[in-house]
Structure 1
Amino acid sequence: MNTVYSFTIYNSTAQLPTNWDDLAVSTIFLSKKYLEVLEKSSPDNMTCHFIGIYDGTALVGIALSQFLNLNLLQSFGERDTWVKTTIRNLIFGKFASHVLVIGNNMLTGQNSFAFSNSVNPAKALLTLRAATTQLKKNFKSTGVTIHITTYKDFNQEEIKGFDIPEFKKEYLFSTQPNMVFAINENWKSEQDYIDSLSKKYRDQYKRARKKAVEIEKKKLHLDDIIALEDTIYDLYLHVATNAPFNTFFLPKNHFRIFKEIFKDKFLFYGYFIDGKLIGFNTLIKNGKVMDTYFLGYDDSIQREKMLYLNMLYDMIAYSINKNFKEIIFARTALEIKSSVGAKPIKMYGLMTHSSRLVNIFLPRIFKYLEPETVWQQRNPFK
């Protein structure tokens, strides 16, 4: 029998079916708890919707969509040259300020959707596409025209699912790679990791640790995060505004809300000198995978104390000690992440523009939407 799937678009987690989490097993980032974090503390320029895919009355698929209004951003990133930034701002203002993402623009990896094992994957994707069309109509009825629709982030194997006629006209693009650190099953401690490094990178490790000898690292609890919220946000903003490109900024209460909802699955580490918070990083336990999340630091101290590199080593040490299989280091700072042992996984997405004319030029325009990063891959192991 040729069954047809249906979909329901939900505006809040309170509306989600009780068995939603039965499908959110591949990633914590589709779970009700995480969607609640987004609901309570997503960026000001972001609106989230949750999509259920049904076979009759049975829930067989779940998905996340994020609408981004880039006109509400003060800055897309300050680091690039004035000319490049001006051109990019012009392109966004005129052609690309309303973006509908099927997936999660705040994370790296396939956190877009999950289907049950019984589902026909191609049919489920077509239903997701129909839900996307409906979302665009819903926005249109409120006076908002979606300029760009994009499905992200998929590795080489995952993107093959979209190789069906209905997606043929979409622009296939590749973004910066996802930096993934595989933990050797023979490593039982940080020392095992250090011993596996070549002399050059063992020396790098020792140098970084020596530089940070006066820094005190503390695991922060909810009360600490609340007490230090202003400083935390300043440190986060410093890093975020100096990134080459941004499509959102977190609200000030984001880390507090995350800790309230996720408790011990959300780790927040503060770095202090003489009792003053000078940096922090965050981690999320996602099954056997450790996902690195947002961080912040005082740049002058970061350079002098090699703070960022020390944070990477700390994340590796913790993940080895707690028997995680891999660490998702995500995008940005590709070279330094490869210097500690992370490997690049190429990521793909699909994109289409509401204007047929603009669609023709998408490959050219994309260069300004996703600035290319030139970097050298390192291999620190013997």
Structure 2
Amino acid sequence: MENINFKVYTSISTLPENWNEVAASNHFLQTPYLQVLENSAPTNMECFYIGIFENDKLVGTLLSQYLDLNKLESFGERDSCLKTHIRNFIFKNFASHVLFIGNNMISGQNAYALSKEIEHKCLSKLLIDCSNALIIYFKNKGIKIHIVSFKDFYKQNATLFKKNYFNNLYEFNAQPNMIFNLNENWSSKEDYVAAFTKKYRDQYKRAHKKYNGIIEKELSLDDVIFHENRINELYHYVAKNAPFNTFFLAENHFSTFKKQCGSRFRIFGHFLNDKLVGFHTLLLNEDVLETYFLGYDDEIQKNNMLYLNMLYHMTEFGIENHFKKIIFGRTAIEIKSSIGAEPVYMSGFILHTNSFVNKFIGKIFQSLEPNLEWNQRHPFK
């Protein structure tokens, strides 16, 4: 550990030249994507790029994000109940300054990438040290960090972190990440549909019948710029109707993403009578396809089963382009299971910087986390 150190960067232009080489295993720690964050992060977010060094050699890259929840216009407007109002009050007054070690904008283990193996004992201490350095950074700016969250680790890594420097942190499991491990024998959507039981094959046919009249088109950068106001309108409808939000995307986010990442970021528009009524986006990360933000017109969604058709289109894209798995994220988990995705539980770790409050962080977190009841679907023969 004495040879391992880190440096915090606040601008992409100052990163070491071999940053992308070290971050080769994850596109979302490479500079094209980080440039998207720098140019079009949510207005309440500040990003930090952390280099991990062995002596003077860069061996790892790490992303951290600070969120000021006081700047949010809304935490989400779908649920209106006493528990939600209490949660929102607590977040505004006692947990509004949140530091994430990791990426709060996408699901999955995307906090760091390493070019050489670092023992979990060393790595867990490094993550703690990074968070402490950023807490001091904000303290010097007159900002008190309330909560630190170490985000999204698969079980094996979480267990090893817990055995080391994360042993005093509260481990939590939010809604499962819905992941579809694609059958390697599928090469077309016909193979996919043939694998369904009759019930889910009928669902597929019914959804496609409802979709009749809507045209899907992949959008170029010029298309995204032309439709960006409408894209934002559709995105905001879905985002505001989510049960809880910690950020809203910047208005230029989708065009910036397309400009910076090109074919690694795909955006598809759904048109009815030449009007954009929905869109979905995909991130191409080596052999993994990751779903990103989407939006839709609510009336079209209800009448034409637009969301379900989007899920089918994402799956068919993954099959036809030979991805090994699709990460669908944590929302709408029951309907995602109906198209083939399965739940994968991931762990996060959290602490409150007030030592007294931190003693009760587990009970507080459990009381604020919404109860989720759902039935996993099993659509295949």
User: If the TM-score is normalised by the length of the shorter chain, which range does it land in?
Assistant: over 0.9
Correspondence for 2:178: 179
TM-score (norm 2): 0.98
Once the two structures are superposed, residues 130-179 of structure 1 have per-residue CA deviations (whole angstroms, 9 ceiling, x without a partner) of 12101100100101100000101012112123134432111011111110
Q: How does 1:224-243 map to 2 (within 5 A)?
A: 224-243=223-242
Name the SS for the 1:181 alignment partner: strand
Counterparts of 2:36 and 2:159, CA distance in 1: 31
2:36 counterpart of 1:37? yes
Correspondence for 2:149: 150
Name the SS for the 2:347 alignment partner: strand
Query: How far is the alpha carbon of 1:316 from its aligned partner?
Result: 0.9
Name the SS for the 1:175 alignment partner: coil
Q: How does 1:178-327 map to 2 (within 5 A)?
A: 178-327=177-326
Contact preservation (8 Å) 1:61, 1:124? no
Which residue identity is paired with 2:184?
A: E
Which residue identity is paired with 1:180?
A: I
TM-align CA RMSD: 1.2
Moved more, 40-49 or 151-160: 151-160
Query: How far is the alpha carbon of 1:202 from its aligned partner?
Result: 0.1
Counterparts of 2:336 and 2:125, CA distance in 1: 37
Query: How far is the alpha carbon of 1:118 from its aligned partner?
Result: 4.4
Query: How far is the alpha carbon of 1:368 from its aligned partner?
Result: 5.5
Query: How far is the alpha carbon of 1:371 from its aligned partner?
Result: 2.2
Contact preservation (8 Å) 1:63, 1:113? yes
Counterparts of 2:259 and 2:244, CA distance in 1: 29
Once the two structures are superposed, residues 179-224 of structure 1 have per-residue CA deviations (whole angstroms, 9 ceiling, x without a partner) of 0011101101000000000000000000000001110111110111
Counterparts of 1:368 and 1:294, CA distance in 2: 28
Counterparts of 1:42 and 1:315, CA distance in 2: 25
Contact preservation (8 Å) 1:115, 1:121? no
Contact preservation (8 Å) 2:334, 2:376? yes
Correspondence for 2:158: 159
Contact preservation (8 Å) 1:53, 1:128? no
Contact preservation (8 Å) 1:284, 1:290? yes
Query: How far is the alpha carbon of 1:26 from its aligned partner?
Result: 2.5
Name the SS for the 2:302 alignment partner: helix
Correspondence for 2:131: 132
Query: How far is the alpha carbon of 1:369 from its aligned partner?
Result: 4.8
Counterparts of 1:315 and 1:78, CA distance in 2: 27
Aligned length, in residue pairs: 381
Identity of aligned residues (%): 51
TM-score (norm 1): 0.97
Which residue identity is paired with 1:92?
A: F
Name the SS for the 1:373 alignment partner: coil
Unaligned runs of 5+ in 1: none
Correspondence for 2:371: 372
